[in-house]
């Protein structure tokens, strides 16, 4: 094997795209996917590559230090790409403890295992931590987040991600662990769990259910196609400089209400429904507590230093994403049965 890599959270939304990319593009790499399979993890996301000889799936918790150390001993990892996390802001508001545990303590346990396994042999090793633009807080109507923007997290989710970023940098400065961090904007694409805005609205339009838009729908997000994020992760893993941070974004800002309206137009067309029928489902609901107004990324550092830019145009990526969810009704049905219904009721029925 040319390299041995631990990918955490590889059964989730972004992780599954990263695992697929690495397994297919680098058949000489051993890829070990460590995932606890929480409600957000789904091995169905990886059916097409699970038979590949250099791919190994391990069901386990990043909080399990003994397991993580055993995996380091068994597979002699050269790199870690750490995506495992609790990732949904609304859940972090109602149940913050899990976010502190997985995102902060879980990251600490992985860092500690890498430090121990790589002591004195750090050359050629890399601990790559995947983070979010939300650590920078909220922008007003203008400006962009750069790598120098001060941290100002405002939700338990973003605070836990900020805490994990700080720990990763502390391991670089204190122990010389070779680390790199990327902070990315909102991803969209196939396999995203339908608690997040785009797949939630696709699912609700399909079933003619209300589309819950928080507040007035004025909040702005910068959307990036998930495979472009996976491509950026590939570039940073191979060419990023240890100790550095790179911001990743789509240069593609949308107000939530405009995005949802655009989705309604595409869905009417795809489902053969009368123009304007899905828009009637839009329902303004109680705002998210501490709702950040706007995120937008300056991704010039990764462009100038590593040559990465997004390649999928939003029109193409968005229409393709809608098409994927409509063609994969079974996937959507499976992930929205059971516990999802309880989550949906507790999150939304009090709001509408």
Interface ranges with ligand NAD (CB under 6 A): 8-9, 11-15, 34-38, 40-41, 61-63, 83-87, 102, 106, 130, 132, 161, 184, 186-187, 193
Q: Closest CB to ligand NAD among 342 and 350?
A: 342
* Dihedral pair phi/psi, residue 55, rounded to 5°: -105, 135
> How many Å apart are CA 189 and CA 180, to the nearest integer?
25
Q: Which residue has the tokens 């650590």?
A: 135
Alpha-carbon gap, residue 211 to 204, rounded angstroms? 6
Residue 213 contact partner, candidates ligand DAU, ligand NAD, none, CB within 5 to 8 A by sort of partner: ligand DAU
Least separation in angstroms between residue 321's CB and ligand DAU is 13
Q: Say how far apart CA 108 and CA 90 lie, in whole Å.
A: 24
Cα 300 from chain centroid? 21
Among 45, 103, 132, 191, binds ligand DAU (CB under 6 A): 132
Tokens of 83: 């995506």
Q: How far is the CB of 23 from ligand DAU (least distance, A)?
A: 23
| Cβ nearer to ligand NAD, comparing 4 with 191 | 191
Query: Which stretch in 4-12, 60-68, 131-139, 238-246 sits in contact with ligand DAU by CB under 6 A?
Result: 131-139
Shortest distance, position 2 Cβ to ligand DAU, whole Å: 31
DSSP at 135: G
Window contacting ligand DAU (CB under 6 A); options: 24-32, 87-95, 141-149, 304-312: 87-95
- d(CA 123, CA 173) in angstroms, rounded, equals 16
CB 62 within 8 A of CB 108: no
Measured distance CA(259)–CA(348) in Å, rounded: 20
Query: Which residues are part of the catalytic machinery?
Result: 133-134, 157
Contact partner at residue 253 from ligand NAD, ligand DAU, none, CB < 5 to 8 Å by partner kind: none
Identify residues 229-288 at the interface with ligand DAU (CB under 6 A). Answer: 256, 288
Residue with tokens 């123009």: 275
Binding site partner of 83, from ligand NAD, ligand DAU, none, Cβ cut-off 5-8 A by kind = ligand NAD
Taking the complex as a whole, the smallest distance from the CB of residue 147 to ligand NAD amounts, in Å, to 15
> Taking Cα atoms as reference points, which of 186, 195, 247 lies closest to residue 220?
186
Q: How far apart are CA 122 and CA 115, in angstroms?
A: 9
Q: Which of residues 177-216 bind ligand DAU (CB under 6 A)?
A: 185-186, 196-197, 200, 212-214
Residue 180 phi, psi dihedral angles, 5° rounding: -145, 150
Q: Which x/- pattern, by CB under 6 A, does the window 304-333 give for ligand DAU?
A: ------------------------------
Closest CA to 38 of 58, 63, 4, 12: 12
Question: What tokens were used for 219?
Answer: 């909040």
**Measured at CB, which residue is nearest to ligand NAD?**
12
Contact positions toward ligand DAU, by CB under 6 A? 87-89, 132-134, 185-186, 196-197, 200, 212-214, 219, 221, 256, 288, 295
């Amino acid at each position: 094997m040319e390299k041995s890599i631990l990918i955490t959270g590889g059964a989730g939304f972004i992780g599954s795209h990263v695992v697929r990319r690495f397994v297919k593009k680098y058949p000489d790499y051993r890829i070990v996917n460590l995932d606890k399979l929480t409600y957000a993890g789904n091995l169905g996301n990886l059916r097409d590559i699970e038979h590949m000889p250099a791919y190994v799936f391990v069901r386990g918790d990043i909080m399990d230090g003994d397991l993580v150390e055993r995996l380091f001993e068994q597979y002699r990892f050269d790199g870690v790409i750490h995506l495992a996390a609790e990732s949904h802001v609304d859940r972090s508001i109602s149940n913050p403890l899990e976010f502190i545990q997985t995102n902060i303590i879980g990251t600490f346990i992985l860092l500690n295992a890498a430090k121990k396994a790589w002591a004195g042999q750090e050359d050629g090793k890399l601990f790559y931590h995947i983070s979010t633009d939300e650590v920078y807080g909220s922008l007003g109507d203008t400006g962009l987040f750069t790598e120098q923007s001060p941290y100002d997290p405002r939700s338990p989710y973003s605070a836990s991600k900020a805490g994990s970023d700080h720990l990763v940098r502390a391991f670089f400065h204190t122990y010389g662990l070779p680390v790199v961090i990327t902070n990315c904007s909102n991803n969209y694409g196939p396999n995203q769990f339908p608690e997040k805005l785009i797949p939630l609205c696709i699912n609700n339009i399909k079933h003619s259910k209300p589309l819950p838009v928080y507040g007035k729908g004025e909040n702005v997000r910068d959307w990036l196609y998930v495979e472009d994020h996976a491509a950026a992760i590939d570039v940073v893993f191979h060419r990023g400089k240890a100790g550095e941070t790179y911001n990743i974004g789509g240069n593609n800002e949308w107000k939530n209400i405009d995005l949802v309206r655009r989705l309604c137009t595409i869905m009417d067309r795809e489902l053969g429904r009368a123009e304007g029928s899905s828009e009637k489902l839009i329902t303004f609901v109680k705002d998210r507590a501490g709702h950040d107004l706007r995120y937008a990324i300056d991704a010039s550092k990764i462009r100038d230093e590593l040559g990465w830019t997004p390649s999928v145009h939003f029109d193409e990526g968005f229409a393709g994403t809608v098409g994927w969810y409509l063609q994969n009704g079974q996937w959507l049905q499976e992930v929205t049965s059971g516990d999802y219904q309880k989550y949906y009721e507790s999150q939304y029925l009090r709001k509408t």
